[in-house]
Amino acid sequence: MDENVLATVRRLPGVRSAHLLTPLTSVAGLGDLEASQLSLLSALVGALGQASEGTGVGALSEAMIEGLNGSIVARSLGEDIGAVVVTEAKANLGLIRLELRKLPRSSP
């Protein structure tokens, strides 16, 4: 999947960075995150997916983590790929979630 699918998301107010990630590696990234942070986000998405399936909830669709200074929004785009958006506190999370839902899903 081409990183350009995130161009609209990256332009939204309050978005610090947006990335396409697999459980093991970063597929594409743009923003202010270092490689170690991208690796942690990849591991997080992988762990959330395993927890979601392991608890009987089913495959991970979307997850959001809110912090004091911003949020992390993750959305599955297929079996082994997801989009992760890091935001500032002022970001419109509803709009970000809507744009993530418009992204194409990869084929299994």
Q: What is the Cα–Cα distance from 101 to 45, expressed in whole angstroms?
A: 17
Whole-prediction pTM = 0.84
> Is residue 15 classed exposed, middle or buried when 0-12, 13-18 and 19+ CB atoms within 10 A define those classes?
buried
Residue 5 amino acid letter: V
- Per-residue pLDDT band for 31 (boundaries 50, 70, 90) equals low
**What confidence score (pLDDT) does residue 107 get?**
57
What whole-number percentage of the chain has pLDDT above 90? Answer: 51
Residue 108 amino acid letter: P
Q: What is the Cα–Cα distance from 85 to 34, expressed in whole angstroms?
A: 14
**What confidence score (pLDDT) does residue 105 get?**
84
Q: What angle do CA 76, 78, 84 make, to 5 degrees?
A: 30
Query: What is the rounded average pLDDT of the residues 2-8?
Result: 81
**What confidence score (pLDDT) does residue 82 get?**
87
44-71: pLDDT as tens digits: 888 888 898 999 999 889 999 999 999 9
CATH of 3-101, one of 3.40.718.10, 3.30.450.30, 3.90.79.10, 3.40.50.150: 3.30.450.30
36-51: pLDDT as tens digits: 788 788 888 888 888 9
Query: What is the rounded average pLDDT of the residues 3-16?
Result: 91
Q: What angle do CA 37, 43, 45 make, to 5 degrees?
A: 105
